[in-house]
Each structure stands twice: as C-alpha cells, then as structure tokens.
Amino acid sequence: MKKVSIPKGTRDFLPLQARRRSYIFQTIKEVFELFGFAPIETPATENESTLTGKYGEEGDQLMFKVLKRGDKLKSAVEQGKGFSDLALRYDLTVPFARFVVQHQSELTFPFKRYQIQPVWRADRPQKGRYREFYQCDVDVIGSEALISEVELLSIIDQVFEKLGLSGVRIKLNNRKILAGIAQKIGAEDKFTALTVNLDKLDKIGKEKVGEELEKAGFQQVQISTLFDLLSLSGSAQQRLEALAEKLQGIEIAEKGIEELKEVMRLSAQQNVRGLELDLTLARGLNYYTGAIIEVVHDQFNSSICGGGRYDNLTEVFGLKDVSGVGISFGADRIYDLMENENLFPYELESTTKVLFVNFGPSEAAFSLSLASKLRASGISCEVYAEPAKLKKQFAYANTLNIPFVVSIGSNEMQAQKAVLKNMYSGKQTTVHVEQIIEHIV
Amino acid sequence: MKKVSIPKGTRDFLPLQARRRSYIFQTIKEVFELFGFAPIETPATENESTLTGKYGEEGDQLMFKVLKRGDKLKSAVEQGKGFSDLALRYDLTVPFARFVVQHQSELTFPFKRYQIQPVWRADRPQKGRYREFYQCDVDVIGSEALISEVELLSIIDQVFEKLGLSGVRIKLNNRKILAGIAQKIGAEDKFTALTVNLDKLDKIGKEKVGEELEKAGFQQVQISTLFDLLSLSGSAQQRLEALAEKLQGIEIAEKGIEELKEVMRLSAQQNVRGLELDLTLARGLNYYTGAIIEVVHDQFNSSICGGGRYDNLTEVFGLKDVSGVGISFGADRIYDLMENENLFPYELESTTKVLFVNFGPSEAAFSLSLASKLRASGISCEVYAEPAKLKKQFAYANTLNIPFVVSIGSNEMQAQKAVLKNMYSGKQTTVHVEQIIEHIV
C-alpha cells in the first residue's frame, strides 16, 4: 500500500488549525458586515475563457485547468483542440468583475460586497505560499466617493484590533501622484516599468531599483529627480504640501494629492490607527487608478492586506466606466503572524467544554440527559463513547484540552451529585447535578 | 463582446442567498460543536489515485479531473499518458478516510469531526442537482459504541429544530437485519442486489422492485418471504419483537435487532422527535454495516440528511478494522425546502441595519462619527457614499431592505438631532443623536 498524501502545496487542517482559521474568517466577516458589506459567492470553476489572458502570461501558466469530460475530451484529443474547458479560480477579482457584469440588473449600486473563498495557483510551493489559499475581498463598486476609501481603512483598523494584532502599519499612496511624477520626469510612456520597479524598493533597495530603471530605459536625470520627489521628509501634511509645490500645474498629481489629503483627514476623524503616507508605495497591478493601500507588520516580511481604487475592472467583460475600490486580506499570512505572536484566544484550544466520564450503560444514560441540559444552555459537551478505563478517558480530555471533566458513578447518580474536575487547575469539587452549569461558566 | 456566463450546473450566490446559506451552515456548525465535534478541512483537489476507483465506474466518469501543467502535460501528450494528475473532491467521505489514515498518529480516538465543504460532480444538471454543492458531514470514528448513533440522531433533531423546520421524519434501520433477512431467504450472495433494489421501494413501488429482484436472479418464494418480513405491522417495538421471532437463530439479525432497540430506547430518553423504524430502508452504499439513517420531509421528494455505521472505511488506504458512524446534511436541499416553506428569518433580508443619508461633506463626516459609535455597539450601518438626491438614497435603503434610515442635515447637526425613519412602518421620529441606538434595537 502506497503512503497516502495530498497534492503538492495543499494542506489538511486539523481541528485546532481549523478552529483558528474559522476565528480569523469570522472576525473579518463580522467587521465587513458592521460596515454594511454583503456576502456573495461564486463557483470554484469559471469558464476557461473568463480567466485566461487576465493575469498575464505567468498567470495563465499557473492556472489549474479542468479536463474536458467524456465525448468532449475524446473529440478534443482527436481534433487536437484544447483539453480543458474550465479553470479553477485564480483570484476573487476577475470572478467578481464577471459577477458584476453578469448580474448588473439584479444589483443595487453602489454595490458593497465581500467574498471569502479559496483560490488556486500552481505556484512553486514554498514557506507561506500555497497552491490553495483563501482570499478575503471587500469592495465598493459603482461610486467614486472617497468615503469608501475611509470605510476600508476603518475596516483594516477594526479587523486587526479585534484580532488583537498591534503594530500594524497601513501604508497609503495614490496612483495619480505617481502618474503625475511620471509626467514631471517625462516618463509617462514607461509608467508600468516605473510602478513595477518602485514596488521592489522595500526588498532590493534604492540602488538596485535605480539600476533596474536604467535597464528599462530611464535616464539618470529622470531617476534622480524621481528619488528626490519620493524622498521628501516631514509629516504627511508637510510632504504633501512640498510635493504639491513641486508638481504644481500637473493636474493629475494635484488631484491625487487632494484625494490623499481628504482620505487622511477623514480617517483621522475616524481614529484609524497606524496610517502612514508612503509616496514610494506603487502596487504593481496596472488596474489601480487612485488610492493604493498596503498593510504591513514589522514581524512579517510580506504585506497582510492590500488594495486600492480602480476605474475599469469590468471593462474587459463589456461594462465601462465603473469605478470601485477594494482591499483583500491574506488570511493565511495573518494566521502565520498570529501564530508567531501567540495571539489566538485560549477558547480555541478545544471544541468540547465538558466531558462526561462513561462508567457503564445506566450511568452513561444518566449523563446523556445531563449533557442535553448543558447543551440547551449553549455549553458544548460530550459523553465518552465507551466505558473505557478512567485513565484513558481522562487522557482523552487532556489531549483534546477539554477544560472540565464530570464523573457520575452509581453512588453519585443515586445522590444526584457530580464530581467536577477543572483540568487546568486540577481542582476537584462535588456538586449537585443541577449546579454543574454554574460551576463551569 | 460575448455574454458572460458561468460553467453549466454551477451557481453564483447573490447577497440574500449567500446570507441564507451562511445561516444554514452556521446553524449546523453550532449544533455539531455543541456535541463536541471538531472541524477539519481538506484540500479541494486530491491526488487522482486517491479518488479513482472509490465511487464505481459512474463516479469515475463524473469526476472533475485537473489537467497536468507545463512539462508534465507536454510529456504526457507525447507519451500518450494520462493528461490529469489531480481530481476535484467528489464527496467528503473518501477524503476523510484518507485524512484519518494520513494523520492517525496526530489524532485522538474516538475522533469526532465535522467537515463543511463543497464537492464537485459532473452530473447532468437538473432541478436541485448541481455540479458544485456543499456537504455537511459529521462522523465519530474509532468506536463501536451506540452512544454515537444516539448523538447523531440528537444532532439531526436539534439542527431541524433550530432551523424551524417541523415535520421532519428520521427513518432508522440496521444493515445487520437486512443481512439476516438475506440469510433467512438464502440470498447472501445477492446482498448488494437486495439493498440496491430495496432502496428504490419508495420511488417505484413494491411490484417493480419485485420484478427487478427477479431479474437479479431472486426466486418468487425468496421475494415473497422478503416482503412478508418487511411488511410487519404494529409499533416499532412490536415489529422488532415479531422480526426477532421470525429470524431467531440468525446471529447477525439478532445483533441488528438488539442494536436498533438500544438506539431507539436511548433516543427516546433524549427526546429525539420524528424517529421511525423503517425495515425497508436499505441505503445502497456498500460500506454500511450497522445503523442506517435517512431523513425525509413530506414536502420534499429527496432525503435531506442520511448516513450510517461503517466498519472498513479506511481499509482501502491501509488501516483496517476502524469502525465509525456518520451522517451528511444536504445543505442545498435544506435550502430549497426552507425557501419553499418560507422559513428564513427576516433579519437575513439585509446586512445593513441603519443607513445614514449623505447631505454633503460636513454632514457626512458627522454621520461617519455616529456610524462608528453604532458599530461599537454591534449595529451594522453605513453612510451613503455620495450626496445623491434623497429619492435615490431612500430607494437604495428600500431595495436593500435596510430597516432604518437616519437623516442629519445641517439644522439637525447643529441641534444634535437625527430624523429616524422606520422603513417598515414608515414612521418618522426626531431623536437626540445620542439616543439613536435605543430607538433601533
């Protein structure tokens, strides 16, 4: 018999991990809903044509495609046509754009939706990178109002507050400013090269980025002006004022600076913590057109949340001029970070709160009835399935981190008593069976 | 531009549907946890070899397989090898068996787990049958104790009670009795034909089942004895006694009858409602060896939950003699039934509870601060993104079924007042801004 295994880059989640993951998803979901975002779901598979060509050549290569079935596969092989007709979702953004276009007549705009579902990428597996992982996306589509940016920044602040993760820094910039800078240095035609390389600044440093830009055809004077503009010092307010002066007359830059100021002003009013202006933040993705957001933590080397404003997400599916703004939380990265920082609540250690020892058929039947009462009060409990040795039953409670064990033998049964053991303190008390609940809450 | 669409047999879920689905999953999950079952998750894809051959020829044909990628695909095509290496999960049972074998040293037995995840089958789409749908499975593995059967029956009772679905009938039988009957009529060698055809009794009737059994090689006398044994009348207790007499000396039948009696006795003690002995219940699947369970509702033509005890689920992956018992809830069918019966709570109609009208920048900023306070009290709310016409903003609240709209214009702002409109009653009241919360809870 071959050893059983799962596909490369995928994971099984055992109970403790599954409870912790569910805690993260639930927290994120609750915050999304507090801000009036509604859930949607899309299928795991999309028609292959919906996804191909949307993520560049690399994305197409990393996409998991689904084999045609039956006669369709046969004729595809005979006629040398493509073997696949469907593909597994590569992210939630393109399916969301497809969803908005397909259901536009059923939706009310501005449409505020969230979506928490897995995506699949045949990436080379490595630490913290998986072939199946969850994205938690939240977007407002169909409005240009900056209130939406402020809502999303508040959501970020509240999610990490509720998760108990401090030290989060929310980096904010605006692609219109970067576009204005490109204009200022006469490099509008190389805007993609500019943003893609700026994005690497954190990782490879200023010098290397300069070299890369040179390779991409930038002149030395352009590069040095660029770095001068990006390395202004002072408070956010001061830097924005200085930048406004240097980029005066460049309309798009002025608009970007105004937007940034307004978002920062309203966010301050909303007490959003950890917000930082980062003029070097670029976010490589081409579809961003306004605010861009990235959330980092000093104890982690990748961003744990990010997003921004876009103007043409749905155009590729035939719906033009729909502006939107959205962010995506990286649940797997947040999980790793929370585990490192030891932030998961202790209640997640066990599903069961009370184990009833099984002393035999009649005692077990008695305990089953008590268990029903506890459950009616919302207390998770179970009666050990078999009248096994006491040592085995207590070991079960121990291994599963069950906090309370209740023993009711035949004597206790007759006296309507229960021996209640607190498994953390080791303390044991005898109580009336009607009083178990008050002793464990 | 081609019209966008999703793969045949799959579905998008809009907010109302998504909230209702989430309500069903959450209810089921809460009950599972009250009984001490812990969550696990497995990946959507399994190695193809893990799944193939486990569901019969038909299952293999209905499985979605994932195309090999890059060089692997190239060499598969050149060498005429299989084009796929992975397959999408076809159910949760086989992945669970694989999980138990793979992680046996990390698990504590009896292992009580639940799993709520989608599965994929390339079935011919038809009403109520989809190519992507959720299963909600709950199993105890590693114990033969009948307490587990009773727990599962209590879970069924509580899930449907919490969902508000009355009229549920839980049909119960035991495969050992059917095996005893096969022995009695001398048809042990045709046991699969017996159970597969008995399973159709509800749909095609006694006469047709008789014909099918004849085709399968049963003699008339075997068929008539079979139906005599299965059509005993009286209470469950009476029928079991009568059956015990007729099958006296057939050890496996006697054991089955004893098990059934014990499970029914304990379930009655636990106040499980709607439990019915159904000696004709067979459940075609070969792996069941003890109790079998199927839940039906008069207003629906398929079962909404089912399962049973098995002895050898993990053997195919090399782990022998591990007994277990489990059931699976059909969330999609429960959804359809609840929609037909109009059972979803009204709160699911909207995510947002309060909409603040947007009268312009300074009023909106004021409302944003109030919205923060409401959220701190757990109330979902939003400020309309743009200072649009009042009519449009109220229409937005109306369409989204938002129950309360708060209007704070510049006069109200100065007086610290808010105009609160109950969108259901149409009633409007003016309250102090600090009193909004008490008026909407």
Cα–Cα distance, A97 to A315 (Å, whole number): 9
Residues of A in contact with B22 (CB under 8 A): 39
Residues of A in contact with B44 (CB under 8 A): 10, 44, 88, 118, 120, 132
Cis amide linkage into residue B403, ω under 30° from 0: no
Cα–Cα distance, B227 to B231 (Å, whole number): 6
Please indicate if any CB of chain B lies within 8 Å of the CB of A263.
no
ipTM of the prediction: 0.95
Residues of A in contact with B352 (CB under 8 A): 36, 38
* pLDDT at B2 (0 to 100): 60
What count of Cα atoms within 13 Å lies in the side-chain half-sphere of residue B7?
Answer: 29
Residue of A nearest to B399 (CA): A108
* C-alpha pair distances (Å), B297 with each of B165, B169, B294, B300, B304: 9, 6, 10, 6, 8
**Which residues touch B142 (CB under 8 Å, ≥6 apart)?**
B109, B110, B111, B322, B323, B324
Per the DSSP assignment, residues forming a β-bridge with B174 are B291
Cα–Cα distance, B56 to B91 (Å, whole number): 13
**Which residues touch A290 (CB under 8 Å, ≥6 apart)?**
A149, A174, A175, A176, A256, A259, A308, A309, A310, A311, A325
Residues of A in contact with B364 (CB under 8 A): 147
For the cut 90, the answer to whether the pLDDT of residue B286 exceeds it is no
**Which residues touch B97 (CB under 8 Å, ≥6 apart)?**
B313, B314, B316, B317
Residues of B in contact with A143 (CB under 8 A): 385-386
Residue of B nearest to A80 (CA): B77
Q: What is the pLDDT of residues B69-102, one digit of tens each?
A: 989 999 998 898 899 999 999 999 999 999 999 9
Residue A350 carries which DSSP code?
A: -
What sign for the dihedral angle of Cα A76, A81, A86, A89?
positive
The answer to whether the Cβ–Cβ distance between B4 and A383 falls below 8 Å is no
Please indicate if any CB of chain B lies within 8 Å of the CB of A376.
no
* pLDDT at A320 (0 to 100): 93
Q: What is the pLDDT of residues A241-294, one digit of tens each?
A: 999 999 999 999 999 999 999 999 999 999 999 999 999 999 876 789 999 999
Residues 294-353 of B with CB under 8 A from A: 317-318, 351-352
Q: What is the DSSP string of B278-314?
A: -TT---S-TTEEEEEEEEEETT-SS-SEEEEEESBTT
Per the DSSP assignment, residues forming a β-bridge with B421 are B405, B428
User: Which of B29, B148, B144 minimizes the C-alpha distance to A383?
Assistant: B148
Supply B424's token pair.
């259901």
User: Which of A358, A357, A353 minimizes the C-alpha distance to A374?
Assistant: A353
Query: What residue type is assigned to position B118 of the chain?
Result: P
Cα–Cα distance, B13 to B437 (Å, whole number): 32
A–B CB contacts, 8 A cutoff, strictly below:
264
Supply B310's token pair.
């098995």
Low-confidence ranges of chain A (pLDDT < 50): none
Q: What is the DSSP string of B13-58?
A: B-HHHHHHHHHHHHHHHHHHHHTT-EE-B--SEEEHHHHTTSSHHH
Please indicate if any CB of chain A lies within 8 Å of the CB of B23.
no
Residue of B nearest to A371 (CA): B35
Residues 65-94 of A with CB under 8 A from B: 65-67, 69-70, 83-86, 88
Residue of A nearest to B101 (CA): A4
A429: alpha, beta or left, given left = phi > 0 and alpha = psi -120 to 50?
beta
Please indicate if any CB of chain A lies within 8 Å of the CB of B437.
no
Could you tell me if A109 and A38 are in contact, meaning their C-beta atoms sit under 8 angstroms apart? no
* pLDDT at A2 (0 to 100): 61
B136 CA to chain A: closest CA distance, Å?
Answer: 15
- Considering only CB atoms, B372 lies closest to which of A118, A270, A399, namely A270
* pLDDT at B168 (0 to 100): 96
* C-alpha pair distances (Å), B288 with each of A88, A195, B119, B156, B175: 34, 60, 21, 19, 7
Mean pLDDT score of chain B, rounded to an integer? 95
Supply B273's token pair.
């409602």
Residue of B nearest to A82 (CA): B67
- Considering only CB atoms, B317 lies closest to which of A4, A21, A103, namely A4
Q: What is the pLDDT of residues B200-254, one digit of tens each?
A: 898 899 999 999 999 999 999 999 999 999 999 999 999 999 999 999 999 999 9
B382 CA to chain A: closest CA distance, Å?
Answer: 6
Could you tell me if B377 and B437 are in contact, meaning their C-beta atoms sit under 8 angstroms apart? yes
Q: What is the pLDDT of residues B359-375, one digit of tens each?
A: 999 999 999 999 999 99
Q: Length of chain B in residues, anyone?
A: 441
Cα–Cα distance, B441 to B245 (Å, whole number): 63
Please indicate if any CB of chain A lies within 8 Å of the CB of B118.
yes
Could you tell me if A406 and A354 are in contact, meaning their C-beta atoms sit under 8 angstroms apart? yes
The answer to whether the Cβ–Cβ distance between B101 and A10 falls below 8 Å is no
Cα–Cα distance, B98 to A441 (Å, whole number): 37
**Which residues touch B186 (CB under 8 Å, ≥6 apart)?**
B222
Residue of A nearest to B12 (CA): A42
The 3 state secondary structure assigned to A154-198 is HHHHHHHHHHCCCCEEEEEEEHHHHHHHHHHCCCHHHHHHHHHHH
Instruction: Return the number of other C-beta atoms located less than 10 Å from residue A430's C-beta.
Output: 11
* pLDDT at A1 (0 to 100): 52
B49 CA to chain A: closest CA distance, Å?
Answer: 10
**Which residues touch B280 (CB under 8 Å, ≥6 apart)?**
B173, B198, B201, B230
Q: What is the DSSP string of B198-255?
A: HTTHHHHHHHHHHHHHHHTT--HHHHHHHHHHHT--S-HHHHHHHHHHHTTT-HHHHH
Regarding beta strands B417-422 and B404-407, do their DSSP bridges make them parallel or antiparallel, or are they unpaired? Answer: antiparallel
For the cut 80, the answer to whether the pLDDT of residue B441 exceeds it is no
Residues 139-178 of B with CB under 8 A from A: 140, 143-145, 147-148, 150-151, 154, 158
* pLDDT at A77 (0 to 100): 87
A361 CA to chain B: closest CA distance, Å?
Answer: 9
Residue of A nearest to B397 (CA): A108
Supply A327's token pair.
């962010």
List b or e across A16-37, with b for residues whose CB sees 16 or more CB atoms inside 10 angstroms. bbbbbbebbeebbbebbbbbbb
Query: What residue type is assigned to position B97 of the chain?
Result: A
Interface residue of A3, A34, A404 to substitute, partner B, most B CBs within 10 Å: A34
Mean pLDDT of B329-356: 96
- In B343-422, which ranges are continuous DSSP H helix? 361-376, 390-399, 410-415
Supply B225's token pair.
């004895």
* pLDDT at B203 (0 to 100): 86
Rg of chain A, C-alpha, whole Å: 28
For the cut 70, the answer to whether the pLDDT of residue B415 exceeds it is yes
Could you tell me if A175 and A312 are in contact, meaning their C-beta atoms sit under 8 angstroms apart? no
**Which residues touch B351 (CB under 8 Å, ≥6 apart)?**
A33, A36, A37, A38, A39, B15, B19, B380, B400
Phi and psi, residue A225, nearest 5°: -65, -40
For the cut 90, the answer to whether the pLDDT of residue B300 exceeds it is no
* pLDDT at B284 (0 to 100): 73
Residue of A nearest to B118 (CA): A44
- The pTM (predicted TM-score) of the whole model is 0.96
* C-alpha pair distances (Å), B111 with each of A232, B104, B141, B200, B386: 60, 10, 5, 33, 54
For the cut 90, the answer to whether the pLDDT of residue B260 exceeds it is yes
For the cut 80, the answer to whether the pLDDT of residue B176 exceeds it is yes
Cα–Cα distance, A239 to A261 (Å, whole number): 11
